[in-house]
Amino acid sequence: MHDTKMVGRATFLVFMAFAFVPSLATVYDVGGSGGWDLDVNYTTWASTESLFVGDELRFKYNASKHNVEVVNREDYDACTNKSVISSFKNGDTLVTLNTTGLHYFLCSIERHCANGLKLEVKVSSQTIAPFGAPTSTPVPPSHSSTTALFPRFNARVLGAMALGLFASLAT
Ligand SMILES: [Cu+2]
């Protein structure tokens, strides 16, 4: 039976599902609209984001001016690239954060790093798995950039519930 009430309810649930189901990968534009450039405070930028394993950082920059190098803490602190881990210079660099802990990036051109073109981010693990999920299955990161784990988990469960309810209504 498809009365208008049920259709309305289903529509609402579809809306809920789209509102709460996270996308599979969260890509963060480093520096926001300022991109990867001088005159952006990356300490401030990093403090506004909560990063989880599987998230990606996107560095957008003028390739004739800057590069992106993944470095260790020593190089980060000293603005050197003696032990550079990886290096990019294509102007649009996507780096996946595969491990928890601190990750360090800098521009090694001229004195840009010393002038602030360096980024330190802390990456956390996804500690809460969805209901019934095997522990070996990677948990897709939430699209949201909320700071607490609970709202992310809550949003995912709500989305899954809404999808399930809609699926049962639609059959
Ligand atoms: Cu530079």
CA–centroid distance, 48 to ligand 1, in Å, is 23
For 4-128+146-170, which CATH class? Answer: mainly beta
CA–centroid distance, 33 to ligand 1, in Å, is 17
Report pLDDT for 148.
39
Neighbours of 69 (CB within 10 A): 23
CA–centroid distance, 106 to ligand 1, in Å, is 8
Q: pLDDT tens for residues 28-38?
A: 999 999 999 99
* pTM score, whole prediction: 0.64
CA–centroid distance, 37 to ligand 1, in Å, is 7
Query: Looking at residues 127-152, what average pLDDT do you find?
Result: 48
Higher pLDDT, 118 or 157: 118
Cα separation, 95 vs 70, whole angstroms: 9
CB 56 within 8 A of CB 26: yes
Q: pLDDT tens for residues 99-118?
A: 999 999 999 999 999 999 99
Domain map (residue ranges) of the chain? 4-128+146-170
Q: pLDDT tens for residues 53-75?
A: 999 999 999 999 999 999 999 99
Query: Looking at residues 135-162, what average pLDDT do you find?
Result: 47
Report pLDDT for 129.
56
Q: Which residues pair with residue 163 across a beta bridge?
A: none
